[in-house]
Structure 1
Amino acid sequence: MDGTTGSLAGIRVIDLSRVLGGPYCTQILGDHGADVIKVEPPQGDETRAWGPPFENGSSSYFQGVNRNKRGIVLDLKREEARAMLLVMLESADVLVENFKPGTLEGWGLGPDILAARFPRLVHCRVSGFGADGPLGGLPGYDAAVQAMVGLMSINGPASGEPTRMGVPVVDLVTGLNAVVGILLALGERERSGRGQFVDIALYDCGLSILHPHLANFFMSGRTPARSGNAHPNISPYDSFATGDGEIFLAVGNDGQFAKFCALVGQPQLAGDPRFLTNGDRTVNRAALRAELETVLAPYGAAALADRLIRAGVPCGPVLSVPEAVAHPHTRHREMVVEMEGYRGTGAPVKLSRTPASYRRLPPAFGEHTDEVLAEIGAAPADK
């Protein structure tokens, strides 16, 4: 597939962002057909050095979020390079950047100036805290924001310390929200003919995913606490040991609980007054765990999980990353991309007529500089 049938074919994106939130956003746009031009400073996107592992001069971290982009180098501290950026924006639909608020403004390229010059441009800024307010303009990184918005406080063992989540969840959800914001603005542009500024802050995005802990706090006034793998509102919704590994039970209603009890040969548990309803089970979760640990001890995790889920009880074995990659359903859902020695994570959005496509490897540093500059009639020396 050449990308001309992607849902965003014909959309040009100038990507000035680095690290994760912005590049994750623009990779999604590129997967769905947009022409993404990634502009790196002379020192490169810092994630090229975030390793090991490394391959051909770039880290796995960089490779994981920068496919389907053309890569160029511009030193935007130079007036000549900024002039070239303005020429590029003449044919662009979207600008994505994550400069510290005030940086573009200091170069005479703030949102108001760009909006006046390019009225159809959708300008998406990813920042730590936004441009104003008590923390406005300050730098933000995923883990620090996890700490500040309360995510670490609800993550980890009940008896342990607040723990950073094992993936940069704030950066990733920020990238997703940036995609949503850009698509909303492009959709509205179809009616108004005008672009707009899309303001995406890590801080806001981190707070936005505190469900159900924030909702619980708003209703009860109680400070949410860490509960390990257990859910604060549902039981059994936790990992449990079996004879050869752990299984995660995600039992969401009373019918599923009754079915689970029957399938493991303990139908009487569903009629126990302590476990009749989800509310009962949540209040008596310690007693329920003691019962289930005994019940599950003779079973193998993989076989039991397969049997339960096929019978309608949500659950899964607790797998390692290599085991998850090797699972046949991962391949069936096309969640591993392989091309020319590259392996990456597939696009999770499956569109029936205009599916995602994988057309370009992550760019080598400055790989397409001459190509892109030639398209706008500029000389490489101007960069």
Structure 2
Amino acid sequence: METRGPLQGIKVLDLTQAMAGPMATMTLGDLGAEIIKVEPLTGDQTRAWAPPYMDKMSSYYLSANRNKKSIAIDLKGYDGQEILKKLVLKSDVLIENFRPGTMQKFGLQYEEARKLNSRMIYCSLSGYGQTGPSSEWPGYDLTVLSYSGLLSLNAEEERPPIKFGVPIADITAGLFSDIAILAALHHRDSTGEGQFIDMSMLDANFSILTHQAMGYLSTGKNPRHLGSAHSNIAPYQVFQTADGYIAMAVGTEKLWKMLCRIIGREDLTKNPLFLTNVERVKNREKLAGEINRTFSAFKTQDLFQLLLNSGIPAAPINTVEQVMKAPQIRDRKMLVEMEAPYGRITTLGTPFKLSSTPGSVRLHPPMLGENTSEILHDLGYTDDEIADLMNRDAVNRDVNRDMKEG
């Protein structure tokens, strides 16, 4: 019998677009929750964030929208707002990532939603939060990453900051939202009470400054731009080899001595500049120069095996193609193939390996409004009423019928 995950029975109303909100709801879906994705008639904006495509669907959209059902509604109209209210009545969680004030225009800000369903967990995920002088600022991954201070850390000396290749600020805020939602559901189990969650992308990303923030609070100095190097440990960065690069993390004195022995540089353990981690951090540039010169005699894979066999944390700098082919990724079932109306797709697997209620990939990322009729039927609408809503463009047309007619 297929397990449906620890959140089976939890219904989530997803009024989000882009990455932060969809990442949050997809994660809950992986854990078994039923996700109803409410889209505007034009669809989630990421449906148009392309190329690349997979079977004529935006790869970006596909990346954050599996395990969901889609209904497309005109939320500006009376009929659409009535549908939304009926969905609220049946939902355990609502998550939206509109600008503050937008849900009020739809007549469903938290105060109104609570009158309909006092047990609901209502999460508003915004760039800068619902309160404060910057609350109305628009927020996207890059701007929040910049404002939070995180982007300033991702740089080398005398070179400009570089954005990471995936939207870290969005993903962080999405996962923090999930933590808050799960905590609120636990509280509801004890008290029967729902509550409002004001999740700010800025708050979430400011909080992950962690040791860098504490370093500033301790010294009053901005962190140095160290590229791949660690601010508090050395050697702990990317080094050059004869044919590429390798990442290595030497976090203890035992590992330091082991490293020096296996690469034939035991002289470094006697050098007063490198005797302890404190000295190595102070003299990191000289240390990196010594290690780079030594590593330049090794090919990456040979060095990787040497370090790995000695218990020293290291890894080659894999490309996306290389990690897709990695045996560990395949063995952990982190790539999944599935059928969809638009073709056979490959998507990422779920990291939730729970022994009794593991996460699962059950539903393909839906076409725009693919489940509109199904969802409206579940709300009690008749076939004639659904057809009338479609004819008046209160909801989208039946895409399944359109595909058959096409």
Q: Name the TM tier (shorter chain).
A: over 0.9
DSSP 3-state at the match of 1:334:
coil
Question: Displacement of 1:56 after TM fit?
Answer: 4.1
Structure 1 runs, 4 residues or longer, greater than 3 Å off: none
Task: Tell me the residue number matched to 2:61.
Answer: 62
**Which one-letter code corresponds to 1:277 in the other structure?**
T
Aligned partners of 1:103, 1:347: CA distance in 2, in Å? Answer: 32
Kept after mapping to 1: 8 A contact 2:336/2:346: yes
TM-score when normalising by structure 2 = 0.91
Q: Give 2:349's match in structure 1, choosing from 346, 349, 353.
A: 346
Gap regions ≥5 residues in structure 1: none
Kept after mapping to 1: 8 A contact 2:128/2:200: yes
Kept after mapping to 1: 8 A contact 2:350/2:361: no
**Which one-letter code corresponds to 1:117 in the other structure?**
L
Question: Displacement of 1:222 after TM fit?
Answer: 0.3
Aligned partners of 1:62, 1:247: CA distance in 2, in Å? Answer: 32
Q: Which moved more, 1:23-32 or 1:335-344?
A: 335-344
Task: Tell me the residue number matched to 2:369.
Answer: 366
Aligned partners of 1:35, 1:232: CA distance in 2, in Å? Answer: 43
Task: Tell me the residue number matched to 1:103.
Answer: 102
Asked whether 1:116 is paired with 2:115, we answer yes
Any idea what the Cα deviations from partners look like across 1:167-198, whole Å, max 9, x if unmatched?
21000001101111110000111101111111
Kept after mapping to 2: 8 A contact 1:238/1:250: yes
**Which one-letter code corresponds to 2:170 in the other structure?**
D
How is 1:1-383 mapped onto 2 (pairs within 5 angstroms)?
A: 2=2, 5-340=4-339, 341-378=344-381, 379-380=385-386, 381-382=388-389, 383=395
**Which one-letter code corresponds to 1:78 in the other structure?**
G
Supply the RMSD in Å over aligned alpha carbons: 1.4
Seen in structure 2, the aligned counterparts of structure 1 residues 198 and 60 have a Cα distance that, compared at 3 Å, is same
- Percent identity at matched positions? 39
Kept after mapping to 2: 8 A contact 1:170/1:206: yes
Task: Tell me the residue number matched to 2:404.
Answer: none
DSSP 3-state at the match of 1:133:
coil
DSSP 3-state at the match of 1:71:
strand
DSSP 3-state at the match of 1:212:
helix
Kept after mapping to 2: 8 A contact 1:154/1:162: yes
Aligned partners of 1:55, 1:204: CA distance in 2, in Å? Answer: 34
Aligned partners of 1:63, 1:310: CA distance in 2, in Å? Answer: 39
DSSP 3-state at the match of 1:323:
helix
Any idea what the Cα deviations from partners look like across 1:107-144, whole Å, max 9, x if unmatched?
22111121232111011111011122110122100101
Aligned partners of 2:336, 2:269: CA distance in 1, in Å? Answer: 44
Kept after mapping to 2: 8 A contact 1:20/1:172: yes
Aligned partners of 1:2, 1:125: CA distance in 2, in Å? Answer: 33
Any idea what the Cα deviations from partners look like across 1:270-316, whole Å, max 9, x if unmatched?
23221111111000111111211221122111221233123221111
